[in-house]
Structure formats: structure tokens, C-alpha cells
Amino acid sequence: MAVRFDEKKNLFTLQTLDSTYQMKVDDHGVLLHTYYGAPADETDFSYLIGPEDRGFSGQPGDEKKDRTYSMDYYPLEYPVQGNGDFRVKALKAGFEGEVPALDLRFVSYELEKGKYSLPGLPALFEAEAGEVETLKITLKDRLEEIYVTLFYGVFEKKNVITRAASIENRSGKNVTLKRALSLGLDFMEGDMDLIHFYGKHAGERQFERRNLPHGITEISSSRGTSSHHHNPFVILCDKDTTEDFGNAYGVSFIYSGGFKIQMEKDQVDGIRLVCGLDDEEFLWKLAPGETFVTPEAALSYSEKGLTALSDQFQKAYHANLIRSPWKDKKRPTLVNNWEATYFGFDAEKLLKIAGEAADLGLDMLVLDDGWFGKRNDDRTSLGDWFVNEEKLKGGLKKLVDNVNSLGMKFGIWFEPEMISPESELYKKHPDWAVHIEGREPGQVRNQLVLDLSRREVIEYVYESVASILRQANIEYVKWDMNRPFTDIGSSELDADRQGEIMHRHTLAVYELQGRLLKEFPYLLLENCSSGGARFDPGMLYFSPQIWCSDDTDAIERLAIQESTALMYPLSVIGAHVSDCPNHTVGRVTPFKTRGIIAMAGTFGYELDVTKIPEEDRDMIASQVETYKKYCPLIQSGDYYRIASYQNNHYFDCYEIVSKDKKEAIFVFVQVIAQPNMHSI
Ligand code: GLA
């Protein structure tokens, strides 16, 4: 049994192979968090709290005498606003118009075989019968009929524990959720380093490690996507934790919209981490009888350092989060026409590229942006999902048939969540754009976000994409999203529900992608968001690969891909060989090096194969062959970081080793030579 409840001690113990997690219901019915770390027995770890009268840390209403008992420093499992806890909270809820206040106490628990699911949300699932146990703990406000259920999915062999929460309003009045996060995690001692991944467009997921200071440190996105700027993943580890040694805790949020991860080092040098939905623009109305379910977060712990922690996340996400039938299959090697032609193509040009690519052994042509409406640049036509026959004479089906007859598969780009003010759709439905009534909305890349809190808009988007896919043999879709939310308002939604727009949008994206995959079950979906702004576990539930970054410079990619692989399997990292000088940074890198680096991901080309120098073109066939040969190893092997160019500024080195240790790929990239050094 991975989950046990000791009725005498009121102790929940969650065991995985290499970790133990413990909670205790104390004499007041408060759910304490007492332990998470190296495997331990069922000792009651609440003795570690060491109660003391901490100056001006108050007591809850039902405890007036014992001044050592305070929510202000006790380690709590799901901290809420309103009970005298002044640290960061997971939940701020209360009756409409009132200051949020709750005081949660234990009611009951349930233990189940298998994994709980979360309606409409991505979540880890049981891949092998018997590998997961679910624990649900229900708490209730001491006064009001407001219930909170905490969900735990214990993946014993994977060393992963998932968490989520639901908030149920059984009172007769409206409840407002000001913040509804997925988890709180309290550490009683807190001299820890934080590892996180910051970035920008064309420079996502840069590794940063620093000692966590007192006060609140926040990693978040309020852009409506998980974003280029931060990834919903952090690691807390000991100061001396290395790749192979030391405590490391990973927290990963399985969601594709805005998020918030806060860590607070408090007055007693403990650390609290809370993680969940972004709450900057969030205000959710919970009418009587309604329940709000948070997205899921996954926790993993290793006492053997960062490599083991990465491996645990990579393996769990591969096996228990990605559902696509493509996940263990060799992915088609592709040529994408974006950096080859941008908007300047026609059917003839595309067929020339496809023909040359077919001769070189590539499997698929991906037609990127610019094939619909009047889109010859990025100023128009998002929303007008009908084929531009001036560019593609004879229509899409004819092009796809011709590409197929060359022995190539065909894939296509969409940006379904958007609308250009200069489009047929906007002329007909200006109110379908997210906007604040009477205020002229700002623009990003000349476009606005569609209001997916409206059912008719969801239906329009679905039919737009599906009807194109029904027209021809399209086997791959690149689903893009190139704009953060601004001017957040909906002309349809009630005034007291406007704070729900961003979360409703993400739920609608999940619904749309889920429906699409139901109608086209073998579709290979690649998510993308102006490069890597939605490189998150939520997307992996729908697409087995995600475009990693618009920065296709191979050397820059070393850092981006390496940080990405701290949690995500290589099989999901969209990586292409692009032309030189590189379009983003202008660097010239040998074609061979570009090929090798793109192989640590889903391999493809993003250049005009008909135009590149002959000596480069001559290398493509053997690169494709090499990738196809090693694809199973890259997708399923164990990944080891050996040397990081980010740290040493001269070279990069990593290795991928098969399960049986009989086969390995060893990659060494000398970025710049060092004079008068030993050869390495
Ligand atoms: C985004 C994507 C690119 C490309 C363009 C097309 O920036 O990340 O790969 O598809 O959009 O407009």
C-alpha cells in the first residue's frame, strides 16, 4: 500500500520507492504537513515542529490558552486566508463582497485504487494497472458550508505524487474565489537553493540557481500562457546538491495558461511553496452548489541529485501524461517552410521543397503560416480559415495530394485562438475578440485573442480547423498561439464573471484539442506558442511534441534544450536544423553541428532545401538516416548532462544511454576552442 492512514496517530503516510510524504490531523482537526523527503517509516514527524510562543503569532479562535499553537508558523498542508497564517496562501475564498476568510478542519478521507481525474483538465493517468493510489482528504470551514477536497495521486514506482484541490460551495450564498491554487508545501527548515527557468521570446528556459532569500520569491506568468518568461517548474534543493548527489524537490504545474509559484522563507527559516493558477486577473464566482476544480501539479523528490530528479519527471511524463499514439513511434522527419519562405510561397515553391526533401529521405512537409485568407504578412486574416487560392492554385487538397504523391506526408499550421482586426471574421463579429467595452484594445503582432468564454466562438474555431482537416490527407497540425492577453473583457460573460475569462480560455483550448484528437485520433499535434511560450506539461496531454523556441541557432539551442530536458523528455522537444547565418542571431555554425544538436529532440529542417549550399544538402540524407536509426534510443533512453556550455562557456556534453546500458549516444560540442589546453 502506497498510502496509509494510522487512525491512532491520525497520520497519513504516502510512500513511493524513494520518498515519503506525511500529513497529520492534529487535535484541532487542522491538517499539518509533517514530512516530505527521503524514505522514512511511519514515525510521527510532528515532533519536529517544536512548539514555542512565537511573539505575536496568534491562535485560531478555538485555541485561546496555548500560545505555542499558531497557524502563523505551523507547517500546514493547504494554507488559507483568514486563520492567522500570514505567509503566502493556497486559497483565498469567502462570501461575495466580503474579505476572504476560511478556517479549514478535517472531515473525512477516502482511499481508492487508480488515479482520480479532473474534469476538462490535463492530468497524469494510470498507464499500468495498479501503479497508482488516490487519496482524497476533505476539509470544511469551521463555520460555513464550504468544503475543500485535497487530491493525491501516488505513483509509487515513479516517485511522483500529484496534487489538486476542489472547492465546493454547499452554502446558500455566492462564494468568490480570489485565489485557488493546487498545492501548498511547507518545509520546516529552509536553507535551500531555487532552480528555475526564466527567458524571453527566442530565449526560453534559461537555467538560474540561487539561494532562496527571506521574503517571497515568485515565478509566474500572467500572460494567459505559461509563457516564454518563466516555466511552470521549479526545483528546491540543498546548497550542495549536484547532478548526482543531494536532496532535490521538483514542483511542476500541469497547465498551459498563467500560473503562480510562490516561495516564502519565513520568520522561523522554514520555506512555504504554493503553486497553481495565476490569480492576478482571476476572480471566480462559485454559486451555491458549484464546485471549482484546480489544475494538477506534480511533485517529485530525489536524494540523489538533479539527474535522478530529471529522470523521474521525464519518465512519468512520458508514460503517464502523454496520450498520443505517436508517443513511442518514430516521428516523421519534417521540413517546415517558415524560415525557408516566411509568407512568400506558392504551391509550386512548396512542391519544389517537398520534392527535394523527399529525395533526401525526409518524411513530411509542414506548411506554416500564410496559406489562408489574404495573409501575405502578419497584419491580416487570422480567423479566416479558408485557403488562399492565389497562393495555392487548385486548393489545398490538390497540394496535399501532390505532396503525398512524392511520398511525403503533409502537415499544416493554425493559430486558432486568434483574430486579426483586418479579417472577414472581425468584420462580422467584432465582439468575438477579447476586449473591454468602449476601450480600444492594444495589439500584439497586429492581432487580438478570440473570446473562448463564448460557446459559439468555440464551435466556430472547432469547425474552422476540423473542416480543413476533413478536406485532405493532413497528418500533422502545428497549433500556434502568438499573443498574450491584454484588455481582458468579454461582451457575453456576466459582469461578476469577467475574472474567469483567462481560465475559461485555457479550458476551451483543452476542450478543442481534445475534440480534435477524438475526430482525428492519429493526428500528430505539435503545440507552439510564438516559439516556446506554451512549453508546459498541460500541452503534453494533447501533443507528444512542442515547438521549443523560435531561436533555431544550434548553439543557443544547447542551453535551451538542456534546461528543457531538466524535466521534459527529449521526445517532446521540437528541434530543427535551420539555415546560416542563423535568422535570429546571425551566427554561422557547421551543418554537421546543427544536425547533431537538433537530434536531441524531434528532428527536422526549417530551411529551403533547394537553396542551401550543396555540401550542406549532401549531409541531409545521412543526418536523416542517423536520426531514424537512433530515434528509439533518443526517445526512450536515460539522459545525462555531462558538461554544460552555459557554465563553462567552451563546450557542451551529454549522453543518452539505453535501458540495458548496451547502447549510448555521446554528444560533445566544442563551441569555441581553448588554446593550449589538454585535449578533452
Ligand atoms: C510563431 C512560431 C513560428 C512560426 C510563426 C508563424 O512565431 O513560433 O514557428 O510558425 O509563428 O507566424
What φ, ψ does residue 52 adopt, rounded to 5°? -145, 155
Residues 6+ apart with CB under 8 A from 366: 334, 335, 336, 337, 410, 411, 412, 413, 476, 478, 604
- State whether the beta carbon of 480 lies less than 6 angstroms from ligand 1: yes
- Express the helix, strand and coil content of the chain in percent, nearest 5 each: 20, 30, 45
Please answer whether residues 461 and 477 qualify as being in contact, where contact means their C-beta atoms are separated by less than 8 angstroms.
no
Please answer whether residues 500 and 446 qualify as being in contact, where contact means their C-beta atoms are separated by less than 8 angstroms.
no
Q: Is the pLDDT of residue 680 over 60?
A: no
pLDDT digits (tens, 9 = 90+) for 399-450: 999 999 999 999 999 999 999 999 999 999 999 999 999 999 998 999 999 9
Q: Is 480 a catalytic residue?
A: yes
Mean pLDDT of 587-594: 98
Cell numbers representing residue 260 in the block: 503562480
Mean pLDDT (the chain, rounded) = 97
In the chain, the percentage of residues whose pLDDT exceeds 70 is: 100
- State whether the beta carbon of 550 lies less than 6 angstroms from ligand 1: yes
- State whether the beta carbon of 363 lies less than 6 angstroms from ligand 1: no
Q: Is 487 a catalytic residue?
A: no
Compute, in angstroms, the gap from residue 391 CA to the centroid of ligand 1. Answer: 19
Residues 6+ apart with CB under 8 A from 354: 335, 365, 402, 403, 406, 408
- State whether the beta carbon of 531 lies less than 6 angstroms from ligand 1: yes
Cell numbers representing residue 65 in the block: 490558552
Q: How confident is the model at residue 677 (pLDDT cuts 50, 70, 90)?
A: confident
Q: Is the pLDDT of residue 674 over 90?
A: no
Q: What is the separation of C-alpha 649 from the centre of its chain, rounded to a whole number of angstroms?
A: 29
Mean pLDDT of 498-526: 98
pLDDT digits (tens, 9 = 90+) for 83-122: 999 999 999 999 999 999 999 999 999 999 999 999 999 9
* pLDDT score at 361: 98
* pLDDT score at 93: 98
Q: Is the pLDDT of residue 347 over 70?
A: yes
Catalytic residue selected from 85, 141, 369, 480: 480
Q: How confident is the model at residue 319 (pLDDT cuts 50, 70, 90)?
A: very high
From 369, 444, 578, the mutation candidate for ligand 1 (largest count of ligand atoms within 8 A of CB) is: 369
pLDDT digits (tens, 9 = 90+) for 127-184: 999 999 999 999 999 999 999 999 999 999 999 999 999 999 999 999 999 999 999 9
pLDDT digits (tens, 9 = 90+) for 545-582: 999 999 999 999 999 999 999 999 999 999 999 999 99
* pLDDT score at 250: 98
pLDDT digits (tens, 9 = 90+) for 16-55: 999 999 999 999 999 999 999 999 998 999 999 999 999 9
Distance CA 210, CA 243 (A): 16
Q: How far apart are the first and last CA of the chain?
A: 49
Smallest CA-to-CA distance from 341 within 619, 152, 578, 639 is with 578
Catalytic residue selected from 550, 551, 553, 652: 550
Q: How confident is the model at residue 477 (pLDDT cuts 50, 70, 90)?
A: very high
What residues pair up with 286 in beta bridges, in sequence order?
175
* pLDDT score at 190: 87
Stretch (H or E) spanning 306: helix 305-320
* pLDDT score at 1: 82
Q: How confident is the model at residue 189 (pLDDT cuts 50, 70, 90)?
A: confident
Q: Is the pLDDT of residue 338 over 80?
A: yes
- State whether the beta carbon of 479 lies less than 6 angstroms from ligand 1: no
What φ, ψ does residue 399 adopt, rounded to 5°? -60, -45
